Amino acid sequence: MLLLGTLQASVSIIPMPQKCIEKRGNFTVNDKTVITLSVDNEEMRNAVSFWNDLFDTAAGFSLEVSSTPRSSNVIRCRLNTSLPNEESYKLTVSQSSIHIDARTPKGIFYAFQTLRQLLPSAIESDKLVTEKVKWNIPCVVIEDSPAFSYRGVMLDVSRHFIPKEDVKRHIDLLAFHKLNILHWHLTDDQGWRIEIKKYPKLTTVGGYRKKTIVGYMWDNPTEWYTKRYGGFYTQEDIKEVVAYAKKRFVEIIPEIEMPGHSVAALTAYPEYSCTGGPFEVEGRWGVFNDIYCTKESTFTFMQDILDEVVKLFPSSYIHLGGDEAPRIRWKNCVHCQERMKQEHLTKEAELQTYFINRIENYLNTKGKKIIGWDEILEGGLSPDATVMSWRGTSGGISAALQKHDVIMTPGSGGLYLDHYQGDYKIEPVTIPSAPAYLSRTYNYEPVPDTIKSLGLEKHILGVQCNNWSEYMYTNAKMEYQMYPRSLALAEIAWSPAKKKNFTDFARRVDANSVRLDERHVRYHIPLPEQPYGSCDKVVITKDTVVTFQTSRPMKMVYTLDGTTPTPASAVYTEPIKVSGNMTIKIATVLPSGKMSKVRTIDVEKQNYA
Ligand code: ACM
Ligand code: ZN
């Protein structure tokens, strides 16, 4: 008889499906298994092609894809209009066949993402698996549909640039977890990252900075990394990444920031500022006073840029930023003051609205809608704008009350992945506000109660995590900040809120870590922490205990004899008794045996008085 525990251990899908019934037995994929398609077209072939890529690489065989029905050893994919929406799917795995029903190829694709998580993790290997693996899939019946249509991740490639191959790798990981939007933050004070043919200096000048601040921006004295730093994507790169994302049902929304966060662009073209410059591409982090001027020529400049941008991105949205734009330059600029007079504006905040409105109107003529950070509410909201609520949830609530669409991404809700995910004393340097431990991200509920009580839920399109990269110096650091918290995002964006259970989620994160290992993802493993602030030295005057905890339930192992702990070392079950001088070495360990870094804590005994 199968024990319930065994069943639970075998099925650890993230995000948790809406309905999942586990059955007895397995379907085994082998080189005779055939994938059949009810409609044989390019999109359907695309929805299954990555499956064959996985098998080709890891198992050394691929499956025949055909439209001829088969009764057994088949993965039968059928388009079926009775499913609730275009991303829904129904998946029935029995010992002789797998049946997938979906309304669109996108639903078929998501069913295959679920199947991937039911296979042995070796399927994710990037080379032929030489041990004998049976490619078993446990029998299940799954009915699944997303909670939200917008399930996004923002990548800031301005503060630190990541090459297109790394962007593709992120897209693979997003799609694997049924996330469907990549918000690509392409421009900011510290670097302009998208080639614009009409204004080549945007990238040749604006794409590079002379120096970069090291550590926190308020550290005194300031330390600089003085090597020239930068990079950008050519339009050919952009097309390649957009096509790559499309194949994985990920939509890319580009962000071209305005009117603030524009020092890189103004370094290249200072004539579009209020003061005329000169400027330097910023090497510090923060908010800067020099922003685009509202003179007429700026709008021509912005429109020319957007003409090129809209051609590269098929998304119906363009993100215009709109956040953190100080108005001090506008206050002191003859052009901006003249503009306010002409337009009968009394406050500079309304000039920001004028700026965003004008660009929105222009983009509407190109068939595009705009998204902006919640500052775009301040001088009055543009007619059709979607608001990204980042300064808490009030911006999102206010926009929904005005019947605007909203994407929730509050920094205070655990959705800023540049915030700490563990004790700041032992985690690598990052943004020190509002800690975003995995449980906080996971427990975020995207629909505020006010919105529910007013029946305005339909205006909450979804939810997004932001990866601001000031402290994500490399792609490795970005992955460390993103995983596993992006899995929590996937679950709050996809799974029904009533099914949320952090303990079970933490178990599935542990179980799935081997899949991330196969893909060489450099994810965060919680460290043993001390409850009142972690430190490397504990001074005692009497026999006492040293207590440890982890940011999610984890096994901890330790030694007291100076040796490096292994998965077989003493398991931490209660505070460690200490007396006299000694050394504690302690680490966490995943079910796979993979360990965190080892922490060493010296205990020093001092005599009382
Ligand atoms: C933001 O975090 N400045 C949108
Ligand atoms: Zn001006």
pLDDT tens by residue, 55-66? 999 999 999 999
Closest CA to 343 of 369, 380, 371, 372: 380
- Nearest ligand 1 atom to alpha carbon 261: 3
C-alpha triplet 475, 479, 483: angle, nearest 5°: 175
Identify whether 31 is a catalytic site residue.
no
Q: How far is Cα 76 from Cα 85, in angstroms, rounded to an integer?
A: 20
- Our answer on whether the CB atom of 373 is closer than 6 Å to any ligand 1 atom is yes
Ligand 2 center to 298 CA (angstroms): 9
The answer to whether 95 touches 141, Cβ cutoff 8 Å, is: no
- Our answer on whether the CB atom of 416 is closer than 6 Å to any ligand 1 atom is no
Q: Which amino acid is at 273?
A: S
- Nearest ligand 1 atom to alpha carbon 416: 2
Proximal ligand: closest to the CA of 266: 2
Identify whether 324 is a catalytic site residue.
yes
Proximal ligand: closest to the CA of 273: 2
- Our answer on whether the CB atom of 304 is closer than 6 Å to any ligand 1 atom is no
| Residue 250 confidence (pLDDT) | 98
Among candidate residues 87, 156, 188, 348, the one labeled active-site is: 188
| Residue 156 confidence (pLDDT) | 98
Please report, for residues 483, 550, 560, the alpha-carbon distance to residue 527 in angstroms, rounded to integers and kept in the order given: 15, 6, 17
The answer to whether 196 touches 305, Cβ cutoff 8 Å, is: yes
Whether pTM exceeds 0.75? yes
| Residue 380 confidence (pLDDT) | 85
End-to-end CA distance of the chain: 65
Pocket test for ligand 1, best of 323, 388, 389 (most atoms within 8 A of CB): 323
The SS3 assignment for 578 reads: strand
Ligand 2 center to 312 CA (angstroms): 30
Pocket test for ligand 1, best of 187, 324, 388 (most atoms within 8 A of CB): 324
Ligand 2 center to 442 CA (angstroms): 43
| pLDDT tens per residue across span 194-229 | 999 999 999 999 999 999 999 998 888 899 999 999
Ligand 2 center to 274 CA (angstroms): 4
- Our answer on whether the CB atom of 412 is closer than 6 Å to any ligand 1 atom is no
Strand partners, 212: 225
Identify whether 524 is a catalytic site residue.
no
Q: Quick one: which H or E segment has residue 100?
A: strand 97-102
- Nearest ligand 1 atom to alpha carbon 388: 4
Which stretches of the chain drop beneath a pLDDT of 70? 1-10, 609
| Burial of residue 397, with CB atoms counted within 10 A of its CB: 0-12 exposed, 13-18 middle, 19 or more buried | buried
| Residue 10 confidence (pLDDT) | 64
**For 171, what's the count of Cα atoms within 13 Å in the CB-facing half-sphere?**
24
Ligand 1 center to 390 CA (angstroms): 6
Ligand 2 center to 400 CA (angstroms): 32
C-alpha triplet 90, 21, 84: angle, nearest 5°: 30
Per-residue burial over 147-166, b if 16 or more Cβ lie within 10 Å, else e, is bbebbbbbbbbbbbbbebeb
Ligand 2 center to 334 CA (angstroms): 7
Beta-carbon contacts of residue 452 (< 8 Å; ≥ 6 apart): none
Written as six digits, the tokens of 71 are 């009764």
| Residue 147 confidence (pLDDT) | 98
Distance of CA 124 to the CA centre of its chain: 20
The answer to whether 465 touches 153, Cβ cutoff 8 Å, is: yes
Among candidate residues 143, 304, 323, 324, the one labeled active-site is: 324
Q: How far is Cα 201 from Cα 195, in angstroms, rounded to an integer?
A: 9
Q: How far is Cα 349 from Cα 553, in angstroms, rounded to an integer?
A: 47
- Our answer on whether the CB atom of 22 is closer than 6 Å to any ligand 1 atom is no
Q: Which residue minimizes the CA distance to atom 3 of ligand 1? A: 323
